[in-house]
Homo-oligomer: A and B are copies of this chain.
């Protein structure tokens, strides 16, 4: 029933999007830097934000605007994070007000996000000047989703976009989204922006519940470099145009919606992990046989966050000792003598460790396996029935290059 479809953030009925160059990014005039996503009607809305103590101005503004659980649009820019910056909240409010004027709604019904350099005043005048053109460019199309997806990219090398279709209460329901996230991605959602839309009818309470459940098993299970950002935001707008009986409590309809939201967000999370700055490999770490899901998650996250493991995968080096090492400093207690480890990919599957001890293995095959883009580290704990999957990427020369001179 659940299937992936085209259309991204415009896949759901009643959502239009646009992305243009406003001038926040000064070094490349052809780079889009402001996005607008608008629903034809008011939406139930919810968001989750960074846990970083240092929060960008838009997050404070969004919290106020979401107090009533309602929103109609999102305006977002790249090129400047509007964090630790002069007149931060004032300028974030000005972005909402400019969008609201064009749309004809209240400023409080507009959410705002920013990503880019920290500590410099955002060029809000350029954004205000661009809003009429941005509004005029709104349309419901794959191209419009693409434009919005590009407008929020920073060091991302590809735009992130996905959409799914499912059935809720007998009605076809669509969910879509665009996201950005490259450097600084971590379990606590380092600089990622993700804007989700759906035509499902769902109450503000239940959309919030579904978003929290989903973030925990998708965006919170990826890691690129362990740094978390001041700006991370994932928000969802639900406009109800699918015509299903509104979801106001847990039950079969909620479950169907949740399943679709999770599928969508896991896909976007994997796209982000795969596009970690400079990354050449998507690393999927699966921990099975753990004593609890929490324990499995802590261990899997520690492995995908380990700089040394990431460097080994970059070098296609089957250095499983680093995997055990990362498991060992995760903070979880376990018996190393029960651990087994496999490396796997489209090129094959090889066991490298059993009972916590190294096995003789075919180094040539291991190299072949680890040379694939998508590689798996499959760990069995031998302690219970729980499992978890987390995603990350390797660390490469390009990561250093990209981040050694980000501001200039």
Contacts and interface: CB of A to CB of B under 8 A. Distances in A.
Interface of A: 51-55, 81, 83-86, 117-120, 183-184, 186, 188, 190, 225-230, 305-308, 311-312, 314-315, 317, 319-322, 324-330, 332-334, 336, 353, 356-358, 395-397, 399-401, 403-408
A321 B84 contact: yes
A119 B323 CA distance: 11
Contacts of A85: 357-358
Contact of A358 (B54, B84, B329, B406): B84
Contact of A321 (B117, B186, B312): B117
Nearest to A359: B119
A35 to B, nearest CB: 22
Contacts of A86: 357-358
B81 A227 contact: no
Contacts of A317: 404-408
A225 B400 contact: no
A190 B306 CA distance: 12
Contacts of A399: 311, 400
B227 A53 contact: no
Nearest to A313: B404
B404 A308 contact: no
Given A84-B336, A230-B325, A329-B227, A400 B403 contact: no
A68 B192 CA distance: 54
Given A53-B336, A81-B321, A403 B308 contact: yes
A118 B324 contact: yes
Given A225-B308, A307-B307, A54 B403 contact: no
A403 B53 contact: no
A81 B328 CA distance: 15
A308 B155 CA distance: 13
The 7 closest A-B pairs by CB, nearest first: A118-B321, A315-B404, A119-B358, A54-B328, A311-B403, A52-B328, A315-B405
Contacts of A117: 319, 321
Contacts of A184: 308, 325
A407 B319 contact: yes
A328 B395 contact: no
Given A188-B329, A320-B119, A329-B227, A395 B400 contact: yes
Given A52-B328, A312-B404, A399-B400, 20 more contacts: A52-B329, A53-B327, A53-B334, A54-B325, A84-B324, A84-B358, A119-B357, A120-B358, A190-B329, A225-B307, A225-B308, A226-B306, A227-B308, A228-B329, A314-B404, A315-B406, A317-B404, A317-B408, A319-B407, A397-B397
A359 to B, nearest CB: 9
Contact of A322 (B118, B321, B396): B118
Given A311-B399, A314-B400, A322 B358 contact: no
Contact of A84 (B314, B326, B356): B356
Contacts of A118: 319-322, 324-325, 358
B324 A54 contact: yes
A100 B328 CA distance: 32
A356 B53 CA distance: 12
A404 B407 CA distance: 27
A296 B326 CA distance: 26
Contacts of A404: 311-312, 314-315, 317
Most chain B beta-carbon contacts within 10 A, residue among A55, A228, A400: A400
A372 B83 CA distance: 28
